Amino acid sequence: MQLYTPTYHSPSPTEGTFTEVFIEEVSFERKRIDKHLTIRFEMYYFRGEEKIVISNSHISFVGMNADSANTNRTTILSIPNVDYDAQVAAIDVEAEDYEALVAAVPTRVNVPMLEYLSTHEGVLPEGYEVVDWGFPSYEDVLQYFEGGSLAEPELFVTQPFARQWFLNNIYMKGEKVGTQFTFI
């Protein structure tokens, strides 16, 4: 898994701008018995032949979904309220506070992503926004990686949602890596 930016502006006020900057996993530790996976990342650039590490980070995934201790947190979407017109129509137009009641009807609602996908044939609605990217358990995150073997040690994330999840949940120097980096 490798991310790249041609120009990196450090959010740290004591650092400046770097060119040709990469982020990649440098190691991972999988403890099957403990149901635990930790991935370590480095942010770096090259000065001539020398690799200069700017930052380090890691992310850990724990437990099976049925375990009481796990890192599983559901992804939440904000979607257009499909019941908006019906909810407004149900308000008595003669009500003294009609305008306030109409204004209180939400135009968008938050729903768990997996629940929505399971009832809508796996298709997300137009205009959805991710409100909370959630966090997978050890059990769930394993399905998103390829590689990680002796023959192919590099980890690859190919599923589009998982790639976006990583861009929004790996922080380096206090900033989401997706703010300045993209997958290569």
Query: Does residue 51 sit in the same domain as residue 139?
Result: yes
Query: Does residue 52 sit in the same domain as residue 36?
Result: yes
Tell me which residue range forms the domain holding 114: 76-130
- pLDDT of 108: 97
Kindly report the average pLDDT of the chain as a whole number: 94
Given a contact cutoff of 8 angstroms between Cβ atoms, the answer to whether 79 and 73 are in contact is: no
pTM of the predicted protein model: 0.82
Per-residue pLDDT of the chain (184 residues; tens, 9 = 90+): 999 999 999 999 899 999 999 999 999 999 999 999 999 999 999 999 999 999 999 999 999 999 999 999 999 999 999 999 999 999 999 999 999 999 999 999 999 998 999 999 999 999 999 999 999 999 999 888 888 878 888 888 888 989 999 999 999 999 999 999 999 9
Out of 108, 130, 152, pick the residue that ends a domain.
130
In a 3-state reduction of DSSP, which class is residue 16?
Answer: coil
CA distance 40 to 36: 13
- pLDDT of 99: 95
- pLDDT of 80: 96
Single-letter code of the amino acid located at 112: P
Residue (of 123, 126, 116, 122) closest to 76 by Cα position:
116
Query: Does residue 16 sit in the same domain as residue 66?
Result: yes
Query: Does residue 13 sit in the same domain as residue 97?
Result: no
- pLDDT of 155: 87
Given a contact cutoff of 8 angstroms between Cβ atoms, the answer to whether 12 and 43 are in contact is: no
CA distances from 13 to 66, 171, 179 (A): 44, 17, 17
Query: Does residue 88 sit in the same domain as residue 120?
Result: yes
Query: Does residue 150 sit in the same domain as residue 169?
Result: yes
